[in-house]
Amino acid sequence: MSSQRLFVLEVIFLLLFVEGLTSVSDLEWDQYKDQYKKQYRSTDNYHRDLYNKRVQVVADHNRLFSEGSVGFKLGLNEFSDTDQSVLFKFRTSIPTPPEPNTSGVTKTLGYKSYDQITEGIDWRQNGYISAVENQGTQCLSCWAFSTSGVLEAHLAKKTRSQLVPLSPKHLVDCVPYPNNGCYGGWVSVAFNYTKYYGIATKESYPYEPKGGECSWNSSYSAGTLLGHVTLTKSDEKELAEVVYNIGPVAVSIDHLHEEFELYSGGIMRIPECRSSKKDLTHSVLLVGFGTDPKWGDYWLIKNSYGTAWGEDGYFKLARNANNMCGVATLPQYPIV
């Protein structure tokens, strides 16, 4: 189904709810399932009921957006019939790894302090950021995508050569406990693995949204790292300095909110978002920041939900907004 046709369907859904109807038709539900190749082992009533609810959420929220009351909009997407918090319960058995002392931020000649930074930055413009991929709705492999993404960015920046996309699937299959493949993991554990074993290219170890046996020979590594830095101050100004002067950063956020799953553009603010380390549930790649003339400062972040989600796979998160969703709680980047 074309994106134009899906847009028309969304408009129809919104009009229906404005008129007070409470469910989508069989045809509309079938078209949604066809768009995202949805298949269920048994009855689809659970997913359809959740989808109906989400259509109403989108309509209500976007009414506020059109009135100028909120700075971001929602839309229907691949995640509109799923509840990520249910899947995330499988991650609760994965302990939070201790963060050992890491090398501090190295401030080279010309390093600008926050007060000296007068404009934003977008590392995509330098060719250091690979294409957005989709981890899938049933695989909690975000940690592998943020790890591979930040590694390939820093390797490309260091060598000033063409970016080589790296393999999140290699990490899903091979990084040991406490990481657990499609059931979740931590960026620092993946960094430590890559330090000793390297990482494959995306081409040589392509992604599938499922775990598998580790089939990797470290002698064919496409890249490695010397160590990594973990920022520990929960300081958004320090984080902005690092992004501006050093490069993209892997960050983790509290994402188990409907606003996040249904996000389709603008600067996201979620009042219920938490920021403590124990509440960080999703790893993403921070590639820049800027300021909107109406809605203020924002972070520019690459997600791993495919390009049909958000702003072509990216989202803007409110910056200097009391550490929104914990974006500054656990920032990490590699030393290559």
Of 180, 228, 282, 325, the catalytic one is 282
What size, in residues, is the chain? 336
Question: Measured between alpha carbons, how far apart are the two ends of the chain, in Å?
Answer: 43
Residues 157, 160, 163, CA angle at the centre, nearest 5°? 70
Which of 219, 202, 204, 134 has its CA nearest to residue 165? 202
DSSP character at residue 219: G
Is 257 among the residues known to form the active site? no
Is 303 among the residues known to form the active site? yes
Is 282 among the residues known to form the active site? yes
What is the number of other CB atoms lying within 10 angstroms of the CB of residue 21?
14
Of 139, 142, 273, 325, the catalytic one is 142
Of 139, 303, 323, 325, the catalytic one is 303
Structure-derived torsion over alpha carbons of residues 16, 21, 27, 31, reported in degrees to the nearest 10: 60
Helical residues (DSSP H) of the chain, grouped into ranges: 3-18, 26-35, 45-66, 84-88, 142-159, 168-174, 187-197, 236-245, 258-261
Which of 288, 333, 289 has its CA nearest to residue 155? 333
What amino acid occupies position 119?
A: E
What amino acid occupies position 291?
A: T
Cα separation, 286 vs 301, in Å, equals: 4
The catalytic residues are: 142, 282, 303
